[in-house]
Amino acid sequence: MKKFLLMLGMAAMTMLLSCTKEDEEKPEEGDAFAVSYVDGLCGSMILSIEDKRYYDLGERGFVHKGVKYESAFLTSAPCKQSLARVLTATNSERATFMVRITDNPPVCESNGVTCMALFSPSPNKFHHIVVLR
């Protein structure tokens, strides 16, 4: 009888711990999510994640130039044309735009010059992105 009650209790605990609220669904790989531009340096950018469902993709509580961000990550800057198009369309570097994480870095035309400057500190999470709008 003790074994039965123990197994029943463990099953109940497992069911309780596996339940999630509908509004807390985890994002699926390939989902688009909103970010805002924080800063850029050479070929790197820091982006702040605006949708709390995706906060786990970034470093929580990242501080840059005295401003604390809920969740931020480092990325290689997408091709200048796509980023310029987004920033021009929104008229602000602080505006929100949509991105998708990809396994492959963007392929851009290069003039052969590479800047190696880095942010210090920088977010501890890095993702390649595709800018959607």
pLDDT digits (tens, 9 = 90+) for 112-125: 666 777 788 899 99
Name the fold adopted by 25-107+121-131. Answer: OB fold (Dihydrolipoamide Acetyltransferase, E2P) (2.40.50)
Q: Comparing C-alpha atoms, which of 111, 129, 122 is closest to residue 34?
A: 129
> What is the rounded distance in angstroms from the CA atom of residue 126 to the CA atom of residue 64?
16
Q: Tell me which DSSP letter residue 120 carries.
A: S
Among residues 79, 57, 93, the alpha carbon closest in space to that of 131 is found at 79
Task: Take residue 108 and report the two structure tokens written for it.
Answer: 């851009």
pLDDT score of 127: 93
Residue closest to 40 by CA, chosen among 109, 106, 119: 119
Predicted local distance difference test score (pLDDT) of residue 5: 55
Mean pLDDT for the chain overall:
76
Any idea which residue has 């396994």 for tokens?
Answer: 103
Least Cα distance to 52 among 74, 30, 38, 69 occurs for 69
Report residue 15 as tokens: 């069911």
Could you give phi then psi for residue 87, rounded to 5 degrees?
-70, -35
CA–CA distance, 91 with 68 (Å, rounded to integer): 23
What pLDDT is recorded for position 92?
Answer: 54
Whether pTM > 0.75 for this model: the answer is no
